[in-house]
Structure 1
Amino acid sequence: MGCDGGTIPKRHELVKGPKKVEKVDKDAELVAQWNYCTLSQEILRRPIVACELGRLYNKDAVIEFLLDKSAEKALGKAASHIKSIKNVTELKLSDNPAWEGDKGNTKGDKHDDLQRARFICPVVGLEMNGRHRFCFLRCCGCVFSERALKEIKAEVCHTCGAAFQEDDVIVLNGTKEDVDGLKTRMEERRLRAKLEKKSQGHQKLRQGSLKKPVLILERRETTWLPKAQVGPVVSTGSCFEKAGNPGGRVQVSLEWVDGKPKPVLCHVSRECTELSLAGG
Structure 2
Amino acid sequence: MGCDGGTIPKRHELVKGPKKVEKVDKNAELVAKWKYCALSQEKLKRPIVACELGRLFNKDAIIEYLLDKTAERPNTEVVSHIRSLKDVKELNLTDNPAWEGERRNIKGDCYEDMHLAMFICPVVGLEMNGKHKFFYLQTCGCVFSERALREVKTVICHKCGDPFQEEDLVVLNGTKEEVDALQKSMEDRRSKAKTAKKSKKSKDAKVCQTQDSTADSSRSSSVNGASSRGISSDSAPGPSSSGEYLKSLKAPPAALAGSKRSIQDMRDKSETFKSLFTSHSSAKRSKEQTSNWVTHTPYHF
TM class, shorter-length: 0.7 to 0.9
**Partners of 1:194 and 1:233 in 2: CA distance:** 47
Q: Which residue of 1 aligns with 2:226?
A: 234
After superposition, the C-alpha distances for 1:39-72 in whole angstroms (9 at most, x for unaligned) are 0000001000000110000001011111111123
* Alignment partner, residue 53 of structure 1: 53
Partner of 1:137: 137
**CA separation in 2, counterparts of 1:155 and 1:61?**
33
8 A Cα contact 2:40 2:74, kept in partner:
no
Report how far residue 8 of structure 1 moved. Answer: 1.6
Structure 1 pair 102–206 and aligned structure 2 pair: CA distance change class (3 A): same
**Superposition TM-score, scaled by structure 2 size:** 0.71
> What is the aligned residue count?
234
Unaligned runs of 5+ in 1: 224-231, 240-249, 255-264, 266-280
| Structure with more of its chain in helix, by fraction | 2
Q: How many angstroms does 1:4 deviate by? A: 4.0
**Partner in structure 2 of residue 194 of structure 1:** 194
CA distance in 1, matches of 2:187, 2:140: 21
Superposed, 1:150-189 pairs within 5 Å as 150-189=150-189
SS in 2 for 1:7: coil
AA at the equivalent of 2:6: G
1:253 aligns with 2:234: yes
After TM superposition, give the deviation of residue 235 of structure 1 in Å.
5.4
Q: C-alpha deviations, 1:184-205, integer Å up to 9, x for none?
A: 1111111111111111111100
Q: Which amino acid aligns with 2:100?
A: E
- Kindly indicate whether residue 54 of structure 2 is the aligned counterpart of residue 23 of structure 1: no
Alpha-carbon separation, structure 2, partners of 1:101 and 1:219: 75
Cα distance, 1:158 vs structure 2: 1.1
Q: What is the CA RMSD across the aligned residues, in angstroms?
A: 2.6
> Tell me, which stretches of 5 or more residues in structure 2 are unaligned?
237-301
Distance in 2 of aligned mates of 1:139 and 1:233: 58
Measure how far apart 1:114 and its partner are: 3.9
Identity %: 59
Structure 1 segment 21-170 matched on structure 2, within 5 A:
21-104=21-104, 108=107, 114-170=114-170
Q: What does the per-residue CA deviation read over 1:55-101, in whole Å, with 9 as the maximum and x for residues that have no partner? A: 00000101111111112323101111111111100000000111111
Question: Which sits farther off after the overlay, 2-11 or 36-45?
Answer: 2-11
CA distance in 2, matches of 1:157, 1:200: 32
Post-superposition CA distance 1:223-264 (Å, at most 9, x none): 9xxxxxxxx993544x4xxxxxxxxxx64435xxxxxxxxxx
The aligned amino acid for 1:234 is: A
Contact 1:92–1:142 under 8 Å retained in 2: yes
d(CA) in 2 for partners of 1:85, 1:175: 24
Q: What's the TM-score, normalizing by structure 1?
A: 0.76
Secondary structure, aligned partner of 1:234: helix
2:12 and 2:113 map into 1 onto residues whose CA distance is: 43
User: What secondary structure sits across from 2:102 in the alignment?
Assistant: coil
Answer 1 or 2: which has greater strand percent: 1
